[in-house]
Amino acid sequence: MPPSDPERRAAALHYPEDRLFGDLSPEAAKQLASISIPTRYSKGAVLFVEGEAPRGIFIVRSGRVKLSTSSPEGKKIILRFVETGRVVGLPGTISGRPYAVTAEIAEPTEAEFIPRAAFLNFLREHGEAALRAAELMGEVVHTTYDEVRSLGLSRSTEEKLATFLLDWWDRHVKKRGPQRAKLTLTQEEIAEAIGATRETVTRLLADLRRRKVIDIQGATLTIADRAALEQLIGTRPRT
């Protein structure tokens, strides 16, 4: 007998790079898939808005989602990007408090949406999944601490940009294969990610290219002189 849709999605929910909710039993994986709604999103689509009542979580199957927050004056800061194999909206969904950020699709994305009530019932029935959800919540907290530390303790915009470029490179370039990273962000988005203006980012990127520290061709980023970037931010912890 061919596998049913929930059975196929149960297999798909086990990402090779991160088994989101632990090594679930076949029954639990099938149940999780049965409450998941697969959806495709175009760039610019909004999953939820800061301050909105939590509706559920989104498991990113492919693509990239940007999380941002805004000041009362309308200034926008990108907090981080969520990529394949990660969860969006988990803190609000579990706590019942409004979403603390806005989640917007940064590039064409496929995601599984799981409604809040069904997800909470699933966690109540499967302790191993509840424990993994708690671990994921901890990861969100620590990631937020790291990002606040990076922005808050950097002495200059140049240092923030260097930190951003190195972190992006380390996340997207494999040790084996071409030493290039796909940088699909606009200069406006980079500026929002480091708390700067687009004009400043444009000027600093041009300077780094002129000094042959980096090269950007279209959406391809190459770091030609990593040591020079690291010198801009001093000693940085490696992950």
Instruction: Tell me the per-residue pLDDT of 108-167, one tens digit each, with 9 for 90 and over.
Output: 999 999 999 999 999 999 988 888 888 888 887 777 666 666 665 556 888 889 988 988
Q: 39 and 64 in one domain?
A: yes
Task: Examine the fold and report which residue of 152, 171, 193 is the final residue of a domain before the chain moves on.
Answer: 152
Q: 104 and 166 in one domain?
A: no
What's the total number of domains in the chain?
A: 2
For residue 107, the enclosing domain spans: 5-152
Q: 162 and 111 in one domain?
A: no
Q: What pLDDT is recorded for position 14? A: 44
Reported pTM: 0.72
Q: 89 and 20 in one domain?
A: yes
Q: What is the mean pLDDT of residues 35-45?
A: 95
**SS3 per-residue string spanning the chain:** CCCCHHHHHHHHCCCCCCCCCCCCCHHHHHHHHHCCEEEEECCCCEEECCCCCCCEEEEEEEEEEEEEEECCCCCEEEEEEEECCCEECHHHHHHCCCCCCEEEEEEEEEEEEEEHHHHHHHHHHCHHHHHHHHHHHHHHHHHHHHHHHHHHHCCCHHHHHHHHHHHHHHHHCCCCCCCCEECCCCHHHHHHHHCCCHHHHHHHHHHHHHCCCEEEECCEEEECCHHHHHHHHCCCCCC
Q: 178 and 128 in one domain?
A: no
CATH number, domain with residue 53: 2.60.120.10
Is residue 20 pLDDT above 60, yes or no? yes
**Most confident segment among 17-26, 52-61, 78-87, 218-227:** 52-61
Task: Examine the fold and report which residue of 129, 152, 175 is the final residue of a domain before the chain moves on.
Answer: 152
Question: Is 101 inside any structural domain?
Answer: yes
CATH number, domain with residue 197: 1.10.10.10
**Considering the chain, what is the average pLDDT of its residues?**
83
Q: 183 and 75 in one domain?
A: no
- For the chain, report the end-to-end CA distance as a whole number of angstroms: 46
**Most confident segment among 2-11, 23-32, 197-206:** 197-206
Task: Examine the fold and report which residue of 127, 152, 177 is the final residue of a domain before the chain moves on.
Answer: 152
Instruction: Tell me the per-residue pLDDT of 52-108, one tens digit each, with 9 for 90 and over.
Output: 999 999 999 999 999 998 877 777 888 888 988 899 999 999 999 999 999 999 999
Question: Is 208 inside any structural domain?
Answer: yes
